[in-house]
Amino acid sequence: MEIVLFWLLSSRLLLEISFRILLLIPIIGFSTPGTTQILAHMATLFMFNESIGNLYCAAPTHIAATSFADRLFSIALVAAKHLGPNHRQGYMPVILRGYRLEDEVRHFWEYAQWFWTENEDRLNQIPRQDLKVSGPWRFKFSSLKEARRTLGKAVKEVLGLVIMAANAVCTTPNVSGDEYHADYNRNGCQGYIVLDGAGAMLQADALLVWGYGFRPCLLAGDPNQVPSAIMTSGKTKNGRALNAFAQLGNISALKQIQRFSWPCFVLDC
């Protein structure tokens, strides 16, 4: 069923985007799971097209980003098995669920401390020569603080390399400002920008992801969805608005595109 929908959507989509200026493709759907599923199918089509390249995907919340990454992975897995290893596109792409690297490093360090505590007796029984590390990963620390700083930097660099090797990165607009994610968006990703939940995404957040060169953008959502709450909306101090751009928060990225009378791909789901 997934493959049938995959190829039916492919032919219909190619016809649809052939008439699009700037390849800005808004998709309107009033069923969030169905819209996300269709968006993931379309993103998979682009990801397996060698002329398009990598994807940078974003959703307004971590839950939405994780949901989209899971769907994209499951559909890409089916497509890769169907194409087979002999097909030029018959490989399993690397789909990365991106988080802020400072949080990743902190969790790594917490796990490392737990692992050492749980296995300290067994680790102390290992001969010293078996603990030697060759190559560039050779560290000698004078204090726990120095070890944490040095290892944290090394882990962050490794995670940065993993991000740059991905075929698709799925994250939130906030994390997109992170150094390595921004570098991937600017230099590592020359393909499409995919925005899920665009009906609840602020215009500024959408531009933060899409803004590097205004590449082709595929976005989907419900324009009638309740937008993100702006806590400073309507509040003043000394007769002046605390947030002069608060009114923009009442209009999502997808709703704004509708207001431009941009042609939208409307789903029946």
Check which CATH number belongs to the domain holding 76 and give it: 3.40.50.300
| Structure-model confidence comparison of residues 154 and 77, the more confident one | 77
DSSP assignment letter at 73: H
User: What is d(CA 156, CA 262) in angstroms, rounded to the nearest whole number?
Assistant: 41
Instruction: Please indicate, yes or no, if residue 196 is contained in any of the structural domains.
Output: yes
| Strand 236-237 relative to strand 265-266, pairing | unpaired
Return the pLDDT at 269: 54
In a domain, 50, yes or no: yes
Radius of gyration in angstroms for the set of CA atoms belonging to the chain, rounded to a whole number: 22
**Residue 259 resides in a domain:** yes
In a domain, 212, yes or no: yes
Residue 48 φ then ψ, to 5° = -90, 0
* For residues 64-86, average pLDDT: 85
Distances (CA, A) of 205 to 68, 77, 90, 210: 17, 30, 34, 9
Asked whether residue 84 is assigned to any structural domain, the reply reads: yes
What pLDDT, in 10s, does the model give residues 195-219?
A: 999 988 888 888 888 876 678 888 9
The mean predicted confidence, pLDDT, of the chain is 76
Domain membership flag for residue 10: no
The reply to whether 5 falls in a domain is no
156 CB-side CA count, 13 A? 16
Which residue type sits at 164? Answer: M
Q: Is residue 96 part of a domain?
A: yes
The structure tokens listed for 176 are 């997109």
Cα–Cα distance for residue pair 162/195, rounded to 1 Å: 22
What number is the average pLDDT over the span 41-45? Answer: 86
Range of the domain at 96: 28-117+137-224+248-266
Better-predicted residue by pLDDT, 97 or 234: 97
Contact 234, 205 (CB under 8 A): no
pLDDT band at 96 (very low <50, low <70, confident <90, very high): very high
User: What's the CA gap between 43 and 68, in Å, rounded?
Assistant: 10
Q: How confident is the model at residue 227 (pLDDT cuts 50, 70, 90)?
A: low
The string of pLDDT tens digits covering residues 175-200 is 988 888 888 888 877 778 999 999 88
Residues 200, 253: contact at Cβ < 8 Å? no
Q: Would you state the pLDDT for residue 14? A: 58
pLDDT band at 137 (very low <50, low <70, confident <90, very high): very low
- Greatest mean pLDDT among 5-9, 94-98, 244-248, 257-261 lies in 94-98
Structurally, the chain folds into a number of domains equal to 1
| Helical segments of 184-243, H only | 203-210
Looking at residues 19-26, what average pLDDT do you find? 70
All residues at 6 or more sequence positions from 106 whose CB lies less than 8 Å from its CB, including other chains: none
